[in-house]
Amino acid sequence: MRERILYSFPVQLFLLHLKKNLALLLVWVVLLGIILEQFGVVLGIPFLFLDPEYLHEVSWLSFFMMGVGLAVLTMAFHMTTYIMNGRQFQFLAIVPRPFIHFCVNNSIIPLLFYLIYIVKFLVFQLNNDLPSNWEVLKFYLGFSLGGILSYSLIFGYFALTNKDFFVLFAGTLDKRLRKVRLTRANVLSRYKEMRGRKDGVMTYLNLKLKLEDVRPDISRFETRKLLRVFDQNHLNLFLIQIFLILFVLFLGLFKEKEILQLPAAVSALLLLAILVMLVGALSFWLRSWATLVVVSMLFLANYFSNFSFLNRPHEAYGLNYQLEPVSYTLAKLDSLTHPDTLAKDRNNTLQILDNWKSKFPNDSLPKLVIVAASGGGQRAALWTLHVLQSIHKETGGEATKHTELYTGASGGVLGEAFFREIYLRSFSDKSFNPSDPAFLNQISADNLNPIIFTLLVNDLLIRNQRFEYSGYSHLKDRGFAFENQLNINTHRILDKPLIEYKKPEFEAQIPLLPVTSLVTNDGRKLIISPHSMSYMGSSMFGKTGLQEKKQSIDFLRFFHAHDAGNLRFLSALRMSATFPFITPNVQLPSIPVMETMDTGLSDNFGIQDALRFLYVFQDWVSKNTSGVVVISIRDSEKNMEIPTTELPRIFEKVFNPLKNIYTNWDNVQTIQNEVLFNYMAESMPFPLERIEFEYAPELMQNEELSGSQKTMRRASLNWRLTAREKKSILESIKSEKNQKSLNRVKKIFEKKG
């Protein structure tokens, strides 16, 4: 019995995969690492699989689609391994429905994954604060239904097409296959190689899942008939692969229809399925030449990708890309920071500050408030908006009235921009209450599904769909998907050109908000504002002379000829929050091409820009205010306990240096900001106070778990938040430190009498 199991078809297939198909096994290993939360936790990748969202909710339908996606990937794995390895097991030639038998015996790896995945998502959902545990049962049934339906359709297709597998073959199809000389030659040579070999299989699982002895004699079968078996298998794989690709192309035509936007995890599974089937097709057609041909194709693709018809820029919407690009040189930067230009921009901002001062009694010296919000994807956007709403509510709007500058990066700027627009609209429309919690739901709605879906159906292929914005035509890409979904989530109130903020900013109705983006060419900041701020990148006092390196570029002046004021404000926000691989770097119309990405790499907390502004206008601030309050909204804890370490293993010694750079980047910036702030606090001719709000769920005990040692889990760095993550963000305002900060703000701006 022991030998019957050891030399059974399932065990031998499993051992064969370990020996020859490690690349295919790696797909399952990576997916397993993801769902076990050993990979991508910081970015929230596991939650895309454990808590899939469709049409802005986690439901039985979203799990139904997960069932479909996993079934497609599993069948891709079966088909590819059958094409690659099925010829080694000669007994399949006399088994009815050989491919279905192969799938049954090849299911050890997928079955293990299914079992672990089901247990993980059930446990995750049981701890996900659902209204009822019956919801979890609905999720499981939806997942099961999706898988059963998909397997039924695929196996039904193979049962029909492979019905008389050895004897019958459609005449016209047979003639067509005979013309494919490469296929026949490859299969025939493989058949000759394996004739004298034993496959080492004694038993196999039949369709009733019972062990059945193998009949090893296949001498009565002709080579020609066996050849047709392989021909037909390859054709079936090819047809299903073509169907999948055509299906993806079809979805791409309607990618903006939310009902067709698959959950992000399902899009990833479909992409993996296509890649796995390509491996099988290439291996079958090219045999030993496969590696050389694939490497050659990669080099050719890399070479031709530089051609204009394949390498189309990812644009900032609203700019005129038809004009001749502006020269991006040091001489150009110097011309934009001429002393007269610096003085002009400074005087314009001084007028804005005077307008801000006029909101208060003439004989008063009001506090000037600057808000600096850190980046961190959607968690930072939600946290920033929540803090600003809490401050506005607790101070009766006084703190917001005193605020004249917002700075920050990525999600923090997105939260500031959304609150600022709500505040602006509240002046003319009383239905806009800046403290309304409904806006929290809008800013935290899923924004990842359309991005990943667009990557699958559009960006991996040739982008060709266009749209019009303010008279200019632009190609659609993941950036468009991000802006479009953000626009929908926020009820389209941010969809306006940059220049529309010029008047309300000038009249000090709302704070200034210079949106910054990092220029990857040279590390400078691109400052996007309806008011030119050249003074943010060059010394106003000329003490450093020509030796000074310009720190930033004024977007409005640099791209003035390209209709810079017409830039879509949503594009500006995207440029500040461009996360690598998720949203593409924006290319601007300059020579050399200026590329921008998330400014968090340079100043993730907005402190540097805030202090630079105070330095430039220190005289005015000293004469017209009673001091400055810098409200710092961090999406991380500033003073974290030093973690314990163990002696590193070999792999850790290799990867830890890069890991340490990534994990300590926030710490490095925090320390630099501490130094800058201390210098400013000691040298400025006015009082400077900092009030900090921190999203630190590790320190915040969940009230429902009172007395427990379990802490709230930190939200991931992503553009999609789970229900638990949203709760941890909103509950963090109740922490002792944040309540002290809130009370301090309330005390400063509490209305008298």
pLDDT tens digits, one per residue of 592-623:
999 999 888 888 999 999 999 999 999 999 99
Question: Which amino acid is it at 622?
Answer: S
Confidence class for position 540, pLDDT limits 50, 70, 90: low
d(CA 137, CA 140): 5
Among 112-116, 139-143, 648-652, whose mean pLDDT is lowest? 648-652
Q: Exposed/middle/buried for 696, CB within 10 Å: 0-12, 13-18, 19+?
A: buried
Three-state secondary structure call for residue 586: strand
d(CA 722, CA 716): 9
Say what the pLDDT of residue 3 is: 75
DSSP code at position 258: G
d(CA 636, CA 322): 43
Give 490-508 as a 3 state SS string.
CCCCCCCEHHHHHHHHHCC
Beta-ladder partners of 554: 527
CB 325 within 8 A of CB 591: yes
More confident residue, 91 or 328: 328
Three-state secondary structure call for residue 376: coil
Confidence class for position 442, pLDDT limits 50, 70, 90: very high
Q: Are strands 628-634 and 368-373 parallel, antiparallel or unpaired?
A: parallel
More confident residue, 688 or 249: 688
CB 688 within 8 A of CB 627: yes
Say what the pLDDT of residue 259 is: 82
CB 520 within 8 A of CB 587: no
pTM: 0.86
Of 724, 608, 590, 728, residue with least CA distance to 677: 608
Residue 514: is the preceding peptide bond cis (ω within 30°)?
no
Contacts of 516 by beta carbon, 8 Å cutoff, 6+ apart: 407, 409, 413, 525, 526, 527, 528, 552, 576, 599, 602, 603, 609
Contacts of 172 by beta carbon, 8 Å cutoff, 6+ apart: none
Mean pLDDT across the stretch 107-118? Answer: 94
pLDDT digits 0-9 by tens, 128-154: 878 888 899 999 999 999 999 999 988
CB 595 within 8 A of CB 521: yes
Residue-averaged pLDDT of the chain: 83
pLDDT digits 0-9 by tens, 302-358: 776 666 656 678 899 999 999 999 999 998 988 888 888 999 999 999 999 999 999
More confident residue, 379 or 187: 379
Say what the pLDDT of residue 385 is: 97
d(CA 445, CA 376): 15
Mean pLDDT across the stretch 234-255? Answer: 71
Which domains occur in the chain, in start order? 1-169+187-305 (no CATH), 326-638+667-698 (3.40.1090)
pLDDT at 200 > cutoff 90: no
Most confident option among 562-576, 690-704, 738-752: 562-576
DSSP code at position 568: B
